[in-house]
Amino acid sequence: MSHSEQPVFIALQANHDTLPIVDAIRADNPLAVVHEYPAMVKIDAPGHLVVRRESVEERLGRPFDLRELQINLVSLAGELDETDDEFTLQWKAA
């Protein structure tokens, strides 16, 4: 299925738990743009954004269950697909 370039986003609370997550997202999504608002970080990306468990674990130095994202998640846009290894937001059609 073709990918759309329409923006997706994930917004997280700005805190110590999310620093390594935001870092991992930056590394895995070169097109992502990070906006810092009071108390909140919003990360936009064209069409597709992925949070990879391994990348978070590397930065966190401990095992990470992607469902832990729930604790600090503020909002998201795009269609979500969550597996054990990847949390993906995307728009599938143009």
Residue 74 CA to residue 58 CA, distance in Å, equals 23
23 to 42, contacts with other proteins by CB under 8 A? 37-40, 42
80-90 burial code (b ≥16 CB/10 A, e <16): eeeeeeebbbb
Closest alpha carbon to 19 in 60, 49, 54, 67: 60
Q: How many residues bind other proteins (CB under 8 A)?
A: 33
Least separation in angstroms between residue 24's CB and other proteins is 18
In the chain, what is the greatest distance between 2 CA atoms, to the nearest angstrom?
A: 38
> Which of 24-32, 50-58, 65-73 is the region at the interface with other proteins (rule: CB under 8 A)?
65-73
Nearer to other proteins, 2 or 30 (CB): 2
DSSP 8-state secondary structure symbol assigned to residue 67: G
Per CB under 8 A, 75 contacts other proteins: yes
* Residues binding other proteins (CB under 8 A): 4, 6-9, 11, 13, 37-40, 42, 67-68, 70-84, 91-94
